[in-house]
Amino acid sequence: MFRIIKKKELNPTVTLMEVEAPLIAKKAQPGQFVILRTDEGGERIPLTIADYNREQGTVTIIYQIVGATTRILNSMSVGDCLQDFVGPLGRPTVTEGKKKVAVVGGGVGCAIAYPVVKKFHEQGTKVHAIIGFRSNELVILEEEFRSNSSKLVLMSDDGSCGEKGLVTDALKKLIESGEQYDEVITIGPLIMMKYVSMLTKQYGIKTVASMNPIMIDGTGMCGGCRLSVGGKTQFACVDGPEFNGHEIDFDEAIARSDMYKEFEQKKQDEACKLYQKEVS
Amino acid sequence: MDVLKKVPIKEQDPQVRAHNFDEVCLGYELEEAMEEASRCIQCKNPKCVSGCPVSIDIPGFIKEVENNNIEAAFKIISDYSALPAVCGRVCPQETQCEQVCIRGIKGDPVSIGKLERFVADWARNHNIKPEPPKEKNGKKVAVIGSGPAGLTCAGELAKLGYDVTIFEALHEPGGVLLYGIPEFRLPKEEVVKAEINNVISLGVKIETNVIIGRSTTIDELMEDEGFEAVFIGSGAGLPKFMGIPGENANGVFSANEYLTRNNLMKAYDTSYDTPIITGKRVAVVGGGNVAMDAARTALRLGADVTVVYRRSEAELPARVEEVHHAKEEGIKFKLLTNPTEILVNEDGWVSGMRCVEMELGEPDESGRRRPVVKKDSEFVMELDTVIMSLGTSPNPLISSTTEGLEINKWKCIIADEETGLTTREGVFAGGDAVTGAATVILAMGAGKAAAKGIHEYLTSK
């Protein structure tokens, strides 16, 4: 069992949790993820490792409440234990050998982008962070990004914070103003990563996208997380989760991410009803 | 009683069982088991024993069943096998012990598998467990994977006094016994868990949620954690796909994914959170036991199911009993047929499968007649779900993170057949990780051989 030792609401739908998992904390690298199960009847869901503390033996996860399982997770408190917590999974982000990079994060994807930014910054790579949110109250980790990057551009869909517009607008502006990046790393909604990749392809800038497909085991035994990359089938859990953004079939990935939509909606409605009952 | 015929065994009615996940075969009652045991002629030189990969003293335990000494029968089996309730159910006895039974020359062979199962079930119901070792030798051995190979190796080593820890990547032990073979062939709570608990009662520790190659490595286990030997029983869990267009469409699954969702995550039970796509018209591509398991699972979830296989019925690699059960339940077979493309609708979902008919040509290097495409035979099956059951290969995670561990061109770990020793000192391997996908009992045989290999290595060290 894995004890929750800290819980902090970052915005109305995004929560940070620190979980006691010394073995995972010892090994974790930016870009890797864990799979967790809240309880005996629960499903296995993948969540990226947002941070870790090797000395204290803790791993930080940041999740958005999007369905039944994240809702159950969010009903748990400090001191409660998660049934299963396994990792670190996937390949770490390759951070070596780059002089200057841009990291483009969107929404809760920023939680995953943050450890990557931090790692680049700590090793002396010049890093520009472009982070985008729908509106002001959804902004997370702004200060953390600011103190770990040499430039931070904050974007919002409605202009309620930072600049109004999309992350691609900001990236395009930087590139056109003459900024030269060895690589762009993008983490966020599939549609955002698709457009970031399309943009950088025009400029011939190498781009890495961190994919988040449906997963079950996370160890390569089922292929539930498969994607087409450069015309080849790859398993995101073992071959990724990061792939060359210019080779990913994003439209296929978007279709696959909706596979259980109906079921998920039903489960979420059930979970909502259950909570309403408990409240009344 | 007709001594030429097996005492018949009770099964759930096909019409009823097609709608539930309860066990199909109901097993013998005591009187039936004693009667079947009396058919054994107690050969002086029993061929059945040589047909068993772990060489159980078959006439020995059957004699005890005949005389109603079931506890004694269980003790005899336990000397050879750690998982008799499992093996009695899933071993392909028709190609092993029962194939060489003298009774089978004229009439039916003795129902050895069903008798083994009866003894193991009886022992469990009477709370009889194998005895733990009297003395411990204090030496630590790590076992990677808690499938049949790992459980057997761990059990054998524990009996010899070793301090054994099994590391399992998933959240529950059992490997393919848990995530692969469905409940209707192998009940999980009642049979698999009980048999794993027997291994634990020998003193074996099991650590779940540990992925060797990620959470820790073999080198770290040996250098930092004080394990003097390691057994790799990590299986062959990497699914193969055909590489045809449309294979990543919504509604196409590997059999591993389909079965894991249903068996390990209990997706058939709506009180569990993991979803599964049921489908109305399902095709399962492949002809092995896993294909039969996937097809029969989809049927129970309410689908109309067709097995699509490129050779003919005679070449189906699945057990005859399973094919028979599948047909009884209403599974259709489209033989000598090979898919060439998955057809996808505008929303990204499967709408059908383009196939060609095949005919059998000359035998290939494996001795099986090679299927060749029949000219102008293309046709389309309308479907909404396709389950690919084309076999599996070993996961490269362990071999790629262990110094000096060599693999062959099929990505299988190279290991000595007698001792299980790999190219790395102190590291042994067995089961599907070495052979590629095979059977439960062969994995157990390899686990047992490796335990002997490890014991010899550590005593001579």
**B81 domain residue, yes or no:** yes
Q: How far is B107 from chain A (nearest CA, A)?
A: 43
Same domain assignment for residues B104 and B212: no
Phi, psi (degrees; rounded to nearest 5) at A272: -60, -45
Residue B398 and residue B385 share a domain: no
Nearest Cβ partner for A37 among B171, B210, B275 = B171
How many residues make up chain B in this entry? 461
pLDDT in tens, B320-352: 889 999 999 999 999 999 999 999 999 899 999
Task: List residues bridging with A207 in a β-sheet.
Answer: A184
CATH of the domain at B91: 1.10.1060.10
Q: Is there a binding annotation on residue A225?
A: yes
Structure tokens at B306: 């067709």
- Can you tell me the distance from the alpha carbon of B205 to that of B158, in angstroms, rounded to the nearest whole number? 10
Is the pLDDT reported for residue A280 higher than 60? no
Nearest Cα to Cα of residue B298 among B343, B253, B356: B253
Residues B190 and B315 in one domain: no
- Tell me, yes or no, whether B208 and B347 share the same domain: no
The answer to whether the CB atoms of A267 and B347 lie below 8 A apart is no
Chain B contact for A69, CB < 8 A?
A: yes
Q: Is residue B2 part of a domain?
A: no
**Residue range B430-452: average pLDDT?**
93
Which band of pLDDT confidence, cut at 50, 70 and 90, is reported for residue B261?
very high
> Does residue A252 belong to the interface with chain B, where contact is any CB pair within 8 Å?
yes
User: Distance (Å, rounded) from C-alpha B305 to C-alpha A248?
Assistant: 33
What is the pLDDT at residue B384? 95
* Integer CA distances (angstroms), B383 to A1, A75, B242, B426, in order: 42, 40, 17, 51
Closest chain A residue by Cα to residue B256: A222
The pLDDT of residue B363: 84
pLDDT digits (tens, 9 = 90+) for B53-106: 899 999 999 999 999 999 999 999 998 988 999 999 999 999 999 999 999 999
Domain count, chain B: 3
User: Which chain A residue shows the shortest CA-CA distance from B168?
Assistant: A86
User: Annotated binding residue at A272?
Assistant: no
Provide the pLDDT for residue A202. 96
Distance CA B233, CA A121 (A): 41
Judgement on whether residues B64 and B23 belong to the same structural domain of the protein: yes
| B413 and B285 in a common domain | no
Comparing CB atoms, the residue among A84, A249, A255 nearest residue B250 is A255
The phi, psi pair for B45, rounded to 5°, reads: -120, 80
A217 in contact with chain B, both atoms CB, cutoff 8 A: yes
Residue type for position B261: R
DSSP codes of every residue in B293-336: HHHHHHHHTT-EEEEE-SS-GGG--S-HHHHHHHHHHT-EEE-S
DSSP SS3 for B264: helix
Q: What is the pLDDT of residues A113-150, one digit of tens each?
A: 999 999 999 999 999 999 999 999 999 999 999 999 99
Q: Measured between alpha carbons, how far is B3 from B38 in angstroms, rounded to an integer?
A: 9
B132 in a domain, yes or no?
no
The answer to whether the Cβ–Cβ distance between A68 and B248 falls below 8 Å is: no
Say whether pLDDT at A269 is over 80.
no
The Cα of B162 is separated from the nearest Cα of chain A by a number of Å equal to 25
- The distance of A248 to chain B (nearest Cα, Å) reads 13
Question: How do residues B140-198 score in pLDDT, each as one tens digit?
Answer: 999 999 999 999 999 999 999 999 999 999 999 999 999 999 999 999 999 999 999 99
The two tokens of residue A242 are 């990061």
Q: Is there a domain that residue B131 lies in?
A: no
Q: What is the DSSP string of chain A?
A: -EEEEEEEEEETTEEEEEEE-HHHHHH--TT-EEEEESSTTPPPEEEEEEEEETTTTEEEEEEE--SHHHHHHHT--TT-EESEEEEEESPPP--TT-SEEEEEEETTHHHHHHHHHHHHHHTT-EEEEEEEESSGGG--SHHHHHHT-SEEEEEESSSSSSEES-HHHHHHHHHHTT---SEEEEES-HHHHHHHHHHHHHHT--EEEE-----SSSSSSS-TTEEEETTEEEEHHHH-SEEETTTB-HHHHHHHHTTTHHHHHHHHHHHHHHHHHHH-
Say if residue B83 is in the same domain as residue B180.
Answer: no
Give the model's pLDDT for residue B390: 94
Q: Which residue among A43, A85, A86 sits closest to B211, beta carbon to beta carbon?
A: A86
CA of B271: which chain A residue's CA is closest? A41
In chain B, what percentage of residues exceed pLDDT 70? 100
- Which of B251, B260, B273 is the closest to A217 by Cβ? B260
- For tokens 């049949």, the residue is B148
Residues constituting chain A: 280
Same domain, B81 and B118: yes
CA distance B12 to B178: 22
Domain range enclosing B176 = 140-237+393-460
Residues B241, A233: C-beta atoms closer than 8 Å: yes
Identify the band that residue B2 occupies on the pLDDT scale cut at 50, 70 and 90.
confident
Domain termination residue (choose one: B390, B413, B441): B390
Q: Convert the pLDDT of each residue in B362-395 to its tens digit.
A: 887 777 788 999 999 999 999 999 999 999 999 8
User: For residue B229, what is the enclosing H or E element?
Assistant: strand B229-232
What is the average per-residue pLDDT within B131-135? 82
Does A221 sit within 8 Å of B238, measured CB to CB?
yes
A220 in contact with B, Cβ within 8 Å: yes
d(CA B424, CA B196): 29
For residues B377 and B402, membership in a common domain is answered with no
| Residues pairing with A209 in the sheet | A186, A243
Question: Where does a domain end: B356, B390, B424?
Answer: B390
Cα torsion B421, B425, B426, B429: sign:
negative
Domains of chain A and any CATH numbers: 2-89 (2.40.30.10), 100-257 (3.40.50.80)
- Closest residue in B to A23 (Cα) is B215
Distance CA B327, CA B313 (A): 12
- What kind and span of H or E run contains B338? strand B337-344
Residue A272: its pLDDT value, please? 65
Any domain includes B130? no
Q: How many CB atoms lie within 10 A of CB B126?
A: 10
Q: What is the mean pLDDT of chain B?
A: 94
Asked if the structure places residue B283 within a domain, the reply is: yes
Q: Are B184 and B23 in contact (CB under 8 A)?
A: yes
Residues B343 and B295 in one domain: yes
Say if B215 is an interface residue toward chain A (CB within 8 Å). yes
Q: Are A86 and B216 a contacting pair at CB < 8 A?
A: no
Q: How many CB atoms lie within 10 A of CB B26?
A: 11
Helix, strand or coil, per DSSP, at residue B119: helix
Question: Is the CB of residue B152 less than 8 Å from the CB of residue B444?
Answer: yes
Say whether B348 and A255 touch across the interface (CB within 8 A).
yes
Mean local confidence (pLDDT), B2-16: 93
Phi/psi-derived region of residue B330, left when phi > 0, alpha when psi is between -120 and 50, beta in every other case: left
A-chain residues within 8 Å CB-CB of B171?
37, 44, 83-84, 86
Shortest Cα–Cα distance, B265 to chain A (Å): 7
Of B370, B390, B410, the residue that ends a domain is B390
Say whether both B403 and B433 belong to one domain: yes
**B7 found inside a domain:** no
Residues of A whose CB is below 8 A from B342: none
- Predicted confidence (pLDDT) per residue in B389-426, tens digit: 999 999 888 888 898 999 999 999 999 999 999 999 99
Q: In this complex, is the C-beta atom of A53 within 8 Å of any C-beta atom belonging to chain B?
A: no
- From A184-188, B73-77, B251-255, B394-398, the region with the lowest mean pLDDT: B394-398
Residue B3 belongs to some domain of the structure: no
Candidates B215, B248, B395; nearest CB to A220? B395
Taking the C-alpha atoms of residue B393 and residue B404, their distance in angstroms, rounded to an integer, is 20
Same domain, yes or no: B343 and B249: yes
Residue A258 at interface with chain B, using a CB cutoff of 8 Å: yes
The rounded distance, in Å, linking the Cα atoms of A126 and A100 is 5
In this prediction the pTM is 0.92
Which CATH number characterizes residue B356's domain?
3.50.50.60
